[in-house]
Amino acid sequence: MALKVKIDKKFHGFHLNVEFETNGGCMGILGASGCGKSMTLKCVAGIEKPDSGRIIHNERVLFDSEKGINLPARDRHVGYLFQNYALFPTMTVEENLKIALTGKGKETGSQVLEQISRFQLKGLEKRLPSQLSGGQQQRVALARMLLCKPEMILLDEPFSALDGFLKDTLQLEMLELLNELNQDVLFVSHSRDEIFRFCDRMILLANGERVVNGFTKEIFRKPEKLEAARLTGCKNISPIERISDHELFALDWNIKLKTDELIGDSIRYIGIRGHNLVPAEKFGEENTMKVSLAGSAHTTFQHQYLVQNAKGSSAKIWWIREKSKYDTEESESIPLYLKFPKEDLLLLS
């Protein structure tokens, strides 16, 4: 199983230029809204036509601008789960499933029945999509998509239309389903948590360009690029001046930092995740900063503090503590010193 994609497309003053390959499994496409990730999916599905490029799935050419091949969407055998699920509003659940089998042979009735029980839709057959919950709508959309026996599955922000409570349960169900199907999957999301949970490999898009490409866990551990650090949730990033192979000066934070890693010539920024900062006993320890509190917020499970260098620097630094350690106490007092552990520093180009 393999999918090779190379797309070049200009639209509304935006230039999408993306290239990637998958080797089976679930491939994530992470990016902020408007970065071109949905357009990429639409090009693979045959809904939109790239200006040039190639899309090949398991040796089957779906699109090739040089050879003039452009299979229509209906012949690509691609299952597409739309962000809003795109259930046909005038049809009942049953009719929504049945129409997917139009012109695809006999025994449609029994296939629909089978799908209804597989996706726990019994009792909902006669309902209209507007009478279903978000989770039920998603199950109908999945059931309908799989009736066509797709050879590849495209998921476009599959959970963004759901509320938090449902989301976790449905994500587990979806994981199970995808494992069971064992097909090529492209999973588009702006949520790093979803990509982390679902995808072994990922690419990261910014402004229509691929920023990084690789194993998800590796990219989260070591983003390497400024955009990648931001999109994987690194809140603290500062431009740097290189001092030596293992020493640099963080300009925004006004602090000299030692690094484990060699600082290459291409490194322009330093980053550290908010929860990697640790309280320190005293000044003078390496990579330690005297801080003053600039603001704080308390979410359900986290204390979020905005601190700044007491020595003078207006740049804010996020420091995040998980709440479980401190129960629900919402203390505004913070340690005097914070340490930037060497091993958690992200060198970015």
Partner 1 sequence: MGELVRTIDWSPLYLSIKTGIVATVLTFFLGVGAARQIMKLNNTAKAIADGILTLPLVLPPTVAGFFLLLIFSLRRPFGRYLLEGFDIKLVQTWPGCVMAAFVIAFPLMYRNARAAFEQVDITMIYAGRTLGLSERTIFWKIVVPIAAPGLASGTVLSFARAIGEYGATTMLAGNILGKTRTVSVAIATEVTAGNWDKAGFWVVVIILLSFVIVAVMNLIAGKNRKNGSGWM
The one segment of 75-83, 182-190, 218-226, 261-269 that binds partner 1 by CB under 8 A:
75-83
**Torsions phi, psi for 40 (to 5 deg):** -60, -45
Q: DSSP string covering 231-299, please?
A: HTT--EEEEEEEEETTEEEETTTTEEEE-SS---TT--EEEE-GGG-EEESSTTSTTEEEEEEEEEEE-
Residues 6+ apart with CB under 8 A from 263: 242, 244, 245, 246, 247, 248, 347
181 binds partner 1 (CB under 8 A): no
Least gap, CB of 3 to partner 1 (angstroms)? 16
**Helix or strand holding residue 8 (H, E):** strand 3-11
3-state secondary structure (DSSP) of residue 95: helix
Smallest separation (angstroms) from partner 1 to the CB of 237: 36
Q: Contact at 8 Å (CB) between 198 and 30?
A: no
Question: Could you give the residue ranges of the DSSP H alpha helices within the chain?
Answer: 37-45, 93-99, 108-118, 134-147, 164-181, 192-198, 216-221, 226-231
The residue among 76 and 321 lying less far from partner 1, judged by its C-beta, is 76
Q: Report d(CA 279, CA 319) in Å as an integer.
A: 10
**130 contacts partner 1 (rule: CB under 8 A):** yes
| Cα(316)–Cα(306) distance, integer angstroms | 6
**CA 216, CA 200: separation in Å to the nearest integer?**
6
Given candidates 12, 33, 66, 74, which one binds partner 1 under the rule CB under 8 A? 74
* 3-state helix, strand and coil shares in percent for the chain, rounded to the nearest 5: 25, 35, 40
Sheet holding 302-309: strands in order across? 278-280, 337-339, 288-298, 302-309, 317-322
Regarding 45 and contact with partner 1 (CB under 8 A), the answer is yes
Closest separation between CB of residue 183 and partner 1, Å?
Answer: 15
Q: How far is the CB of 292 from partner 1 (least distance, A)?
A: 50
Residue 44 structure tokens: 């693979």
- 71 sits near partner 1 (criterion: CB under 8 A): no
> According to CB under 8 A, which one of 20, 63, 80, 319 is a site residue for partner 1?
80
* In the complex, minimum distance from the CB of residue 315 to partner 1, in angstroms, rounded to a whole number: 43
**Binding test (CB under 8 A) with partner 1, winner from 46, 135, 223, 271:** 46
Strand, coil or helix: 344: helix
Closer to partner 1 by Cβ: residue 102 or 244: 102
Per CB under 8 A, the list member of 86, 306, 310, 336 interacting with partner 1 is 86
90 binds partner 1 (CB under 8 A): yes
Residue closer to partner 1 by CB (options 62, 229) is 62
Q: CA–CA separation, 65 vs 155, rounded Å?
A: 25
Quote the tokens at residue 157: 């922000």
Q: Which one of 67-75, 179-187, 227-235, 279-287 is the stretch in contact with partner 1 (CB under 8 A)?
A: 67-75
Does residue 103 interact with partner 1 by CB under 8 A? Answer: yes
Among residues 89, 105, 164, 312, the one that binds partner 1 under rule CB under 8 A: 89
Among positions 25-44, residues that touch partner 1 (CB under 8 A) are 42
Nearer to partner 1, 104 or 118 (CB): 104
Judged by CB under 8 A, the residue of 18, 55, 78, 93 near partner 1 is 78
Residue 99 binds partner 1, judged by CB under 8 A: yes
Residues near partner 1 (CB under 8 A), total: 31
Question: What is the token pair recorded at 220?
Answer: 């989260």
Enumerate residues 137-166 that contact partner 1 by CB under 8 A: 144-145, 148
| Minimum gap (Å) between residue 91 Cβ and partner 1 | 8
**Footprint on this chain of partner 1 (rule: CB under 8 A):** 42, 45-47, 72-80, 82-84, 86, 88-91, 99-100, 102-104, 128, 130, 144-145, 148
